[in-house]
Each structure stands twice: as structure tokens, then as C-alpha cells.
Amino acid sequence: MSTERKMIMGWVKVCVAPEIFTSRCDDVLMQREKEYLASLQRSGEIFLSGPLADQSAGLVVYDVQSFKEAQDLVEKQPMVRAGLLSVDLHEMFVVNYA
């Protein structure tokens, strides 16, 4: 028996040249980003998140009620607001084959 539920997957990419990212991404911004994502994880709005092993992109799976809710969370993300990251959202189904 399996169960499935809809979640929103976010494909996270740097949207500026590497030298611009390096010059604009300081320790304060990185800390705000980590704190923001940690708060969403603690509240259950993020199911999982992390970078790819080669650091070329990242993945966030939002456990929210709607696509719009995920969009709102992305728009509040510090590094997105700073214009350094983009998040491409897609609806997905998480399947549990228990």
C-alpha cells in the first residue's frame, strides 16, 4: 500500500555571476538566510532542503497547503530578496511505500 501527498519542490539556483554573488553575499546575509530556512524547517513548512553535492544548485521541498504559500515563502527568503538566488517551484507528489 502506498500513500501520496502533494508538496512543492523548489529548485534553487544562483542567478548572478559568481563574482557578483561573492561580492554581495556577506556573513550577515548568509546568517539571515540560514535562520530563515531553519525557522521554516522548525515550523514544518520545509520538509527538507540542501545543496547538491557539486554546489551547482539546491533543493527545497515545501510542505505547505498551496503553491501560492510556497511562492510567498520564497519571496521572503533573504537571498532571493537580495537578488542572488532564484527558486523555480514545481508541484510534486511525495509517495510513501509503507
pLDDT in tens, 33-62: 999 999 999 999 999 999 999 988 999 999
Task: Provide the residue range defining the domain that includes 54.
Answer: 3-93
The Cα–Cα gap between 92 and 90 comes to 6
> In this structure, is residue 18 part of a structural domain?
yes
Question: Rounded mean pLDDT of 18-22?
Answer: 91
pLDDT by residue (tens digit) across 63-79? 999 999 999 999 999 99
**What pLDDT, on a 0 to 100 scale, did the predictor assign at position 1?**
74
Average predicted confidence (pLDDT) for the chain = 94
Q: Let me know if 12 is exposed, middle or buried by CB neighbors in 10 A (0-12, 13-18, 19+).
A: buried
> In this structure, is residue 98 part of a structural domain?
no
**What pLDDT, on a 0 to 100 scale, did the predictor assign at position 96?**
86
Question: Rounded mean pLDDT of 78-91?
Answer: 97
For residue 61, the tally of other CB atoms under 10 A from its CB is 16
> In this structure, is residue 22 part of a structural domain?
yes
Domain count, the chain: 1
pTM for this prediction: 0.89
